[in-house]
């Protein structure tokens, strides 16, 4: 697909591909096994300008387009989905929300160090009692003079224990439902903030995931992000952007599954021939390759619409749905192609399968994506 990319996009893809193969791939199995957050690699990515590449240069970012961002996430995810999730969530969610709704002073104070990768961001939406129903959150922020008092708990927070800057959704007017939800920029060092222990997960083991507890946290009123009561509306926009990253991440996992399968199918011999010559295996490989190309095109279509300032809610939900479910299918087929070897940790494909499952859950489950797509279709056809 090189013919579709500009020279700048190809340079970005090649640079991150080279970086990933040099510095990310060699230790990925050990990081997964030890559940170790790759702080040093994240620092190196920041030094290369990859932790804020889509944000304006004025605020420390790279100013590149969203397709370039997709290419970078795909290349990282091909080897290490946990690291790709760190980059995507930091860029699209935490700093992405500040880029969307922040004032100039907030962007100067918070977006700039996030975009430069000097600080890590964490986006705090999900709670123990509210997942897909984001409007059901219980965290509150009550106005007291020139500040808010924040109380509540969040769960499944990426960068929860290593993040420096949290973007937190809370109810400022509990009686108004979604119109009473606001967003705040909160510094992790403030009194009353306590990350929980790291969560034991199926996959994405070197991505930091914790609960975060807020108890009587004093938040200056100037740290209200966007307008009071508009937090839910802004969150839906942020999630649309975040789903582009999840789509690209899913493509990366699926591509890794295909490339590892191609290598193995060419080397592994049974009955005197490489198993890649058997029609059953050929069919699996052909289907994987075809669906990966389709998924990538869907993700890039959504990215292009975003850059053009056009509506893309339906398109990104379609892309996220298709790419995430493909990641699981492709990783599952890769394990099957590898046979018994696919079930042991010596090979990458068992990790791909564990990592892929989160793609169908995070930033809106497959079921939620289908609801969104159907809703948008009814708007188009029924008015």
Just list the catalytic residues.
363
* Alpha carbon distances (Å) from 31 to 140, 179, 237: 36, 42, 33
Q: Fill in the DSSP letter of residue 118.
A: S
- Pick the closest to residue 203 from 361, 369, 23 (CA basis): 361
Q: Fill in the DSSP letter of residue 158.
A: E
User: Taking the mean position of all CA atoms in its chain, how far away is CA 261?
Assistant: 25
DSSP 38-89: -HHHHHHHHHTT-SSTTS-GGGT-----HHHHHHHHHHHHHH-HHHHHHHHI
**What is residue 122's three-state secondary structure?**
strand
186/76 Cα distance (integer angstroms): 29
Backbone angles phi, psi at 188, to 5 degrees: -65, -20
Report helix angle 66-79 to 231-267, nearest 10.
Answer: 50
| Cβ-proximal residues to 289 (8 Å cutoff; 6+ apart), any chain | 258
Task: Tell me the residue ranges of DSSP E strands in 188-333.
Answer: 193-198, 209-220, 224-225, 269-270, 273-274
Strand 140-144 relative to strand 147-158, pairing: antiparallel
**What is residue 111's three-state secondary structure?**
helix
* Alpha carbon distances (Å) from 18 to 12, 230, 300: 10, 42, 22
DSSP 222-268: GGEESSTT-HHHHHHHHHHHHHHHHHHHHHHHHHHHHHHHHHHHHH-
363/246 Cα distance (integer angstroms): 8
344/33 Cα distance (integer angstroms): 12
DSSP helix, strand, coil percent of the chain (3-state; round to 5)? 60, 15, 25
Report residue 130 as tokens: 């509210």
């Amino acid at each position: 697909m090189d013919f579709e990319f500009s020279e700048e996009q190809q340079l970005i893809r090649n640079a991150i591909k080279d970086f990933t193969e040099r510095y990310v791939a060699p230790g990925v199995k050990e990081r997964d096994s030890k559940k170790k957050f790759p702080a040093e690699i994240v620092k190196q990515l920041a030094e290369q300008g990859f932790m804020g590449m889509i944000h304006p240069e004025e605020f420390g970012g790279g100013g590149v387009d969203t397709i370039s961002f997709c290419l970078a996430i795909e290349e990282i995810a091909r080897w290490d989905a946990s690291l790709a999730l760190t980059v995507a969530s930091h860029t699209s969610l935490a700093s992405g929300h500040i880029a969307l709704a922040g004032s100039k002073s907030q962007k100067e104070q918070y977006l700039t160090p996030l975009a430069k990768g000097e600080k890590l961001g964490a986006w705090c939406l999900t709670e123990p009692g509210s997942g897909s129903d984001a409007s059901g959150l219980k965290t509150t922020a009550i106005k007291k003079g020139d500040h808010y008092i924040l109380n509540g708990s969040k769960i499944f927070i990426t960068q929860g224990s290593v993040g420096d800057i949290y973007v937190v959704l809370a109810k400022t007017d509990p009686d108004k439902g979604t119109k009473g939800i606001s967003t705040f920029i909160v510094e992790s060092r403030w009194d009353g903030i306590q990350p929980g222990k790291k969560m034991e997960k199926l996959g994405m083991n070197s991505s930091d995931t914790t609960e975060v507890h807020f108890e009587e946290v004093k938040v200056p009123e100037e740290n209200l992000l966007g307008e009071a009561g508009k937090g839910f509306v802004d969150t839906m926009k942020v999630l649309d952007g975040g789903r582009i990253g999840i789509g690209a991440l899913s493509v990366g996992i699926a591509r890794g599954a295909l490339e590892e399968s191609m290598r193995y199918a060419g080397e592994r011999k049974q009955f005197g021939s490489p198993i890649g010559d058997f029609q059953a295996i050929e069919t699996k490989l052909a289907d994987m390759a075809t669906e990966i190309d389709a998924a990538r095109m869907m993700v890039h279509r959504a990215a292009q619409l975003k850059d053009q300032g056009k509506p893309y809610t339906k398109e990104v939900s379609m892309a996220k749905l298709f790419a995430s479910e493909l990641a699981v299918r492709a990783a599952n087929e890769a394990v099957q192609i590898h046979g018994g070897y696919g079930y042991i940790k010596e090979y990458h494909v068992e990790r791909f399968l564990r990592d892929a499952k989160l793609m169908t859950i995070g930033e809106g489950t497959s079921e939620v994506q289908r609801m969104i797509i159907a809703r948008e279709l009814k708007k188009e056809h029924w008015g």
